[in-house]
């Protein structure tokens, strides 16, 4: 779906997604000291808004101006920079302590571009969190896009983060309201190696 399709979807619904953050983010991020965060393909901003309210300085990027405007209105005066841009071509000179990619499903070349930019945007010691619908969700789970070629697998995502220290990469189950079947997601948690002298970047907690 292109940006106009997402514009129409956001215009037709009060909230397309939940107002709460993705369930996999808090257990990872609660252990980190707030710093700078980049939310790639933020949609209506639910994760960006939660991060800002947790004390993070957030940049939220999405190609839907309608989604960005909804996020801006919900966020109020939270510390978020809202940017309308395609995340596969978005460029930033800043480095971030945290980068998140949540339910972004693209053809392979665009996925490579997205993760390449996400990794490049990480500060030394920074954390990358990715959540996507697993390919196995098509046959054994519920929800998500019906196109296997854009869904996430370990073999598809692992080469894109080989320069990082991968803490975990694998399938995980997610309860779905009014469904007896759980969704199957793929969860990535990785860190960019520290600087050569082993020091932590400013504002970042020592995880070792």
Q: What is the mean pLDDT of each run of 10 residues along the chain (208 residues)?
A: 49 59 96 97 94 97 92 89 95 96 96 96 98 97 95 98 98 95 98 67 36
Four-residue CA torsion sign, 164, 53, 83, 43: positive
The pTM of the full predicted model, rounded to 2 decimals, is 0.86
Provide the pLDDT for residue 55: 96
Name the burial class of residue 124, with classes exposed (0-12), middle (13-18) and buried (19+) by CB atoms within 10 angstroms of its CB.
Answer: middle
Instruction: Provide the pLDDT for residue 79.
Output: 85
Instruction: Quote the pLDDT of residue 207.
Output: 34
Any idea where the domains of the chain sit in the sequence?
A: 3-191
8 Å CB contact between 87 and 115: no
CATH for 3-191, options being 3.40.50.300, 1.20.140.10, 3.40.50.150, 3.90.1150.10: 3.40.50.150
- State both tokens at 60: 């939220």
What is the model's pLDDT at position 20? 85
The candidate with the shortest Cα–Cα distance to 75, out of 99, 58, 90, 97, is 58
Q: How far apart are CA 206 and CA 208, in angstroms?
A: 6
């Amino acid at each position: 779906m292109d940006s106009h399709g997402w514009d129409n979807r956001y215009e037709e619904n009060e909230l397309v997604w939940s107002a709460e953050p993705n369930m996999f983010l808090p257990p990872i991020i609660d252990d980190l000291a707030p710093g700078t965060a980049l939310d790639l393909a933020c949609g209506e901003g639910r994760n960006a808004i939660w991060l800002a309210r947790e004390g993070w300085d957030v940049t939220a990027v999405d190609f839907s101006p309608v989604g960005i405007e909804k996020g801006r209105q919900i966020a109020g005066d939270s510390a978020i920079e809202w940017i309308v841009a395609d995340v596969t071509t978005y460029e930033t000179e800043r480095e971030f302590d945290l980068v998140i990619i949540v339910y972004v499903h693209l053809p392979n070349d665009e996925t490579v571009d997205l993760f390449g930019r996400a990794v490049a945007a990480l500060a030394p010691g920074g954390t990358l969190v990715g959540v996507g619908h697993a390919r196995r969700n098509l046959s054994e789970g519920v929800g998500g896009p019906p196109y296997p070629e854009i869904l996430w697998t370990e073999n598809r995502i692992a080469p894109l983060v080989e320069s990082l220290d991968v803490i975990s990469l694998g399938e995980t189950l997610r309860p779905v309201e009014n469904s007896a079947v759980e969704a199957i997601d793929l969860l990535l948690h990785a860190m960019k190696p520290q600087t050569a002298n082993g020091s932590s970047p400013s504002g970042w907690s020592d995880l070792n």
